Amino acid sequence: MVRSSSATRRSTAGAVLLALASCLPFTTGYARDLPVYAIGADSGYRDMLQHAGPRQVYLLGDATHGTREFYLFRQQVTRELVTDHGARHLVLEIGPDEAELLDQWLQGQSGNREPAATILEKSVKRWPRWVWANREVAGFLDWLRAYNLERSDENRVRLHGMDLQRLGTMESEIYAGLVDSDPYGAWNYRSNHMADRVTDILSSAEATVVWAHNNHVGDKRADDVRGTGLISLGQLLRDRIGIDNVFILGSAGYQGSFVAAPRWGEAHRVTSLPPAIDGSLAALLAQTDFDNPLLYWEDAGQREQWDLQLLHRGVGVVYQGGGNGANDPDTYVATRPGWRYDALVYWRDSGPVTPLGD
């Protein structure tokens, strides 16, 4: 999950980003000159995966941890990777202990035949529960368990967790110290931990799929974060196993609603997502006639065409909104999408996930 930075950094970064937005030379119709792989993502993702060729790891990102469309599309892509591309490992931005309970159920080892919704409510106890304990994830896990139980053990999909919830005493003390003294270092510690976990899981013969926030899966070198030294999971994996062995799919939304909490540890709620600000990637795509296009850089030339510095919105589990609603500048980063990702899916309108128990 993505946690907000301090109020001081927020105000400074916000001023810079809003100044950048006012300078970007976008006019109506500009987006029409940029390549779009498919005008409908649902009809284009299979061809995109075929064209991309086999990869060791597929990083599938979401722009919020509470938007229904992000979850459902990520599941569509994962089904295709499992059934047609040999993916046998699914890694979630979740604690290893929670993942272990879910994996036992997926393998039929627990003897528990209850539906995924019940298993998620029992297994996912830590806040923010709605990120994984929701009806969208439950529907996918029901499908995945049925898929597994029709196959031999070696052909089943395993589920893993990569987040920091289970650390040794020394690791926990190091991380806690970084959170207080060096927030950027804390994020880098977490990114390295995730990358180590995924690297341990990777198999040369079997593809691995990772679900995480855009800010984790995207290559941080494409972001304007000069002076922070920040790194990301996507950046580390590209370095470790090669850019051609990693496929990064990001997501973006223009307007709608999503689920988040107003403060750390508090109850979730549905909040509005107002139209993205001018100078942003989502606002640029809103200039087109397409409600749900899929972008994919088929070659170096198309990657270069999308090598534009654009504001890109990403909301974590905590969202207060501020005076500008979800257009709080702290939710934007200036990035070059053609280098942050290999592909991106966009929605003009989107809605919230349905947390279990609501």
C-alpha torsion 71→236→227→22, nearest 10: -40
Query: Region 37-48: what's the mean pLDDT?
Result: 95
Contacts 24+ apart (CB under 8 A), 219-226: 219/248, 219/339, 219/340, 219/341, 221/339, 222/335, 222/336, 222/337, 222/338, 222/339, 222/340, 223/333, 223/334, 223/335, 223/340, 224/309, 224/333, 224/334, 224/335, 225/333
212-267 pLDDT, tens per residue?
A: 999 999 999 999 988 889 999 999 999 999 999 999 999 999 999 999 999 999 99
pLDDT band at residue 186 using 50, 70 and 90 as cut-offs: confident
C-alpha torsion 275→279→281→287, nearest 10: 70
pLDDT tops 50 at residue 128: yes
Distance CA 38, CA 47 (A): 9
Query: Region 14-42: what's the mean pLDDT?
Result: 58
Contacts 24+ apart (CB under 8 A), 43-47: 44/294, 44/296, 45/73, 45/76, 45/77, 45/80, 45/294, 45/345, 46/80, 46/84
Residue 21 pLDDT: 39
3-state secondary structure of 55: coil
Residue 337's contacts (CB-CB under 8 Å, 6 or more residues apart) are 222, 250, 281, 295, 306, 308, 310, 312, 344
pLDDT band at residue 329 using 50, 70 and 90 as cut-offs: low
Distance CA 304, CA 306 (A): 5
Write down the pTM of the prediction: 0.90
350 vs 299, more confident: 350
Domain boundaries, the chain: 7-350
